[in-house]
Amino acid sequence: MYIVKNIQRIIFVMLLCGMLLASIPARAAEVAVVDIVRVIDASSPGKAGQEYIDKVRAELDAELSSYVKGLGNSKEAASLTEQKRLELARRFDQEFFYVLNILMKNLKEVAHGWLNNNKRGAKVIVAGGSVLAVSSGVDVSEDILRLFNEVKVDFTKGR
C-alpha cells in the first residue's frame, strides 16, 4: 500500500510535467497510455516488491520493539525511542526507494521494448495519470502488464 501511495505521488509529478509538455503538438506521434499504478500493483515484480517492503517493515518494527524493551524505564526512554524510530523510518524510506527504483527501471525497459516492437504505430507512451481522458484503444496497460509479469526481480541482490 505504501508503494502505491508513493507511486501516486510520482505520477502527480509526472502529471505536472505532462501539463508542461501538453503545449507541444503531437501531430505525427501516435500515443499509447499505461496506468503505471495498476500495472505495478497487479504485476509479479510489483507484488514481489510489496512482499520485500512488508518484510523490511516487519524487521524494522521488531528492531524498534526490541530496542524499546531494552531501554526499560529510563528517563531518556522517550527521546531515545523517538530517535530510533526516526532512524528506522529513514532506513525504511531507503529500502522503499530502492524497490521503487528497481521497479521503475524494469518497467521502463519493458515499455521501451513494447514501443520498439508495437504494431499500433505508437511512438510515445504516457502515464495514465498524466492525461485527463483516454480512449480505450490507446490504453496498453494490459500489454505492458503481460510483459512486465515476465520480468524476474530479486530485491535482495545488491543489498
- What would the pLDDT profile of 17-30 be if each residue is shown by its tens digit? 455 455 444 443 48
Question: Could you give the angle at the alpha carbon of 43 between the alpha carbons of 115 and 40, nearest 5°?
Answer: 70
CA 115 to CA 137: how far, in whole Å?
15
Name the percent of the chain lying above pLDDT 70: 81
Nearest to 95 by CA among 139, 41, 51, 126: 51
pLDDT reported for residue 51 = 96
pTM here? 0.77
The domain spanning residue 141 has which CATH number? Answer: 3.30.910.20
Residue ranges making up the domain that contains 90: 2-148
How many domains does one find in the chain?
Answer: 1
Tell me, yes or no, whether 65 lies in a domain.
yes
Select the more confidently predicted residue: 151 or 75: 151
- What would the pLDDT profile of 78-101 be if each residue is shown by its tens digit? 999 999 999 999 999 999 999 999
